[in-house]
């Protein structure tokens, strides 16, 4: 691992609802948690000093946790110390920002990197008075959510307006994919202040199976879909496609732990969809699968289905690719960058079960194509999307945001100007 020798940037990561220490798969715990955890770990490996600030959502949490991965997590008191849906957190961002302002009077970070729009609010409250460089990663945009979810969107009504202000106030925006750059441009954010830094995948953990690639089983083909159990993830599209895919099962990971699926509204809805299409005996819902068990689950798939209506980035397709699995994905958002149609998988129009079924059938009928997609996906994930590579790209963005004065500081003269 290359270290950014001597640089030792002090980096504050602000992730109000998504703690890097949380279990994944719940309604509000998914890609952002993984992103913050893995990016912080990779930056710490490069020799940076990383502190993650996240809202305290349990009274028993210690104020600070030193992680094995070398970064610190601070549980910020802002609002009640219990789980709150993220759409109810806005009113506590003032307290969150005040905490950061106080804390940064003694521990001034060189750069503050906010994840999600509400973190951006708290960060700007604290960073602007101290002239700290602010990087914003939105992870999801209110305008996109409103477009697809309409009246089902429970975001605070001011979200879209505030996101524009946050984008304007940030020193730089780190968009996770090219599609987001277009969305930001439509919101009036100049392209010159936006960089694309994708999410990554742990290529040590998500690896292909040891045994040689097997042909698709003649008895029962397996599709796997993974994600938070929310309607926009489009698990129902995969279920509907099963009606045209005999001898195929769909295994769905995500949601509450398995015992709680009965009480989960989306799980119940998906069961009803499966019954409507007469495929209930071929749909298996696992509930929340521990992240450590995810590589084995993905490797067990003949193909991985990612069929959301829209997708700000989508780490699951990358995890599948890193495991050498072909991906069938909706042609939306981050997957337009990560999944190369006809090379690492198939891109299909969103919300179109027939096209999903066609793509799956084509893939299962041609073993060499299926295996070739898996190999190409593995190569692409490993060479382009390792967290070490993503951390390097992130550091480049930080350096572009730092004031020139920092480079003139004799104590910090080792920060190569060329690297900016």
Shortest CB 230 distance to ligand UDP, Å:
8
Q: Is 315 in the site for ligand UDP (CB under 6 A)?
A: yes
For the CB of residue 23, give the shortest distance to ligand UDP in the complex, in Å.
Answer: 8
- 31 binds ligand UDP per the rule CB under 6 A: yes
Q: Does 254 participate in binding ligand UDP (rule CB under 6 A)?
A: yes
Q: Which helix (H) or strand (E) holds 54?
A: strand 49-55
Single residue of 30, 109, 200, 256 touching ligand UDP by CB under 6 A: 30
Q: What is the DSSP letter of 201?
A: B
What 3-state class would DSSP assign to 258? helix
Nearer to ligand UDP, 316 or 402 (CB): 316
Instruction: For residue 226, give both structure tokens.
Output: 């993974």
Task: From 45-53, 164-172, 256-264, 311-319, give the range in contact with ligand UDP by CB under 6 A.
Answer: 311-319
**9 interacts with ligand UDP by CB under 6 A:** no
> Is residue 224 a contact residue for ligand UDP (CB under 6 A)?
no
Residues between 290 and 309 with contacts to ligand UDP, criterion CB under 6 A: 291, 294
Total number of residues binding ligand UDP (CB under 6 A)?
20
Give the tokens for residue 210.
Answer: 């040891």
Q: Which stretch binds ligand UDP (CB under 6 A): 59-67, 182-190, 220-228, 345-353?
A: 220-228
Q: Which residue is nearest to ligand UDP (CB)?
A: 30
At 252, is the secondary structure helix, strand, or coil?
A: strand
CA dist., res. 186 & res. 161, Å (int): 13
Beta strand spans in 254-391 (E)? 283-287, 303-306, 327-330, 345-348
From residue 361, alpha-carbon distances to 46, 242, 303, 309, 332 in Å are 44, 11, 11, 21, 21
Report residue 191 as tokens.
């392209």
299/206 Cα distance (integer angstroms): 9
Neighbours of 218 (CB within 10 A): 7
Q: With respect to ligand UDP, which residue has the nearer C-beta, 329 or 348?
A: 329
Under rule CB under 6 A, residue 332 binds ligand UDP: no
Residues of this chain that bind ligand UDP (CB under 6 A): 24-25, 30-32, 34, 226-228, 253-254, 288-289, 291, 294, 313-316, 319
């Amino acid at each position: 691992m290359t270290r950014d020798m001597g640089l030792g940037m002090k980096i504050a990561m602000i992730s109000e609802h998504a703690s890097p220490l949380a279990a994944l798969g719940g309604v509000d715990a998914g890609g952002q948690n993984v992103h913050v955890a893995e990016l912080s770990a990779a930056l710490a490996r490069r020799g940076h000093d990383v502190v993650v600030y996240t809202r305290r959502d349990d009274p028993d949490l210690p104020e600070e946790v030193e992680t094995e991965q070398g970064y610190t997590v601070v549980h910020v008191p802002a609002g009640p110390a219990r789980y709150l849906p993220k759409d109810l957190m806005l009113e506590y961002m003032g307290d969150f920002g005040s905490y950061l302002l106080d804390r940064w009077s003694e521990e001034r970070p060189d750069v503050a990197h906010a994840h999600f729009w509400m973190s951006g609010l708290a960060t700007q409250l604290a960073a602007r008075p101290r002239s700290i460089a602010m990087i914003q990663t939105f992870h999801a945009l209110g305008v996109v959510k409103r477009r697809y979810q309409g009246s089902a969107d429970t975001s605070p009504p001011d979200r879209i307006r505030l996101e524009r202000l946050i984008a304007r106030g940030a020193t730089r925006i780190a968009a996770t994919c090219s599609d987001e750059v277009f969305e930001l441009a439509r919101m009036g954010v100049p392209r010159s202040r936006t960089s694309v830094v994708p999410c990554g995948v742990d290529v040590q953990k998500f690896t292909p199976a040891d045994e040689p690639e097997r042909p698709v089983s003649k008895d029962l083909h397996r599709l796997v879909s993974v994600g938070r159990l929310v309607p926009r993830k489009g698990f129902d599209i995969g279920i509907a496609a099963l009606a045209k895919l005999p001898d195929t099962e769909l295994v769905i990971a995500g949601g509450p732990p398995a015992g709680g699926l009965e009480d989960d509204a989306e799980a119940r809805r998906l069961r009803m969809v499966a019954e409507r299409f007469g495929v209930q005996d071929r749909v298996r819902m696992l509930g929340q699968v521990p992240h450590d068990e995810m590589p084995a689950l993905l490797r067990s798939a003949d193909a991985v289905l990612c069929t959301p209506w829209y997708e700000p980035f989508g780490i699951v397709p990358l995890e599948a690719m890193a495991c050498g699995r072909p991906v069938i994905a909706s042609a939306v958002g981050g997957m337009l960058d990560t999944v190369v149609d006809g090379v690492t998988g198939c891109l299909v129009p969103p919300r179109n079960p027939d096209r999903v079924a066609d793509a799956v059938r084509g893939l299962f009928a041609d073993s060499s194509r299926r295996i070739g997609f898996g190999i190409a996906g593995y190569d692409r994930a490993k060479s382009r999307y390792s967290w070490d590579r993503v951390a390097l790209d992130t550091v480049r963005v930080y350096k572009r945001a730092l004031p020139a004065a920092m480079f003139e500081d004799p104590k910090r003269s080792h920060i190569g100007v060329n690297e900016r």
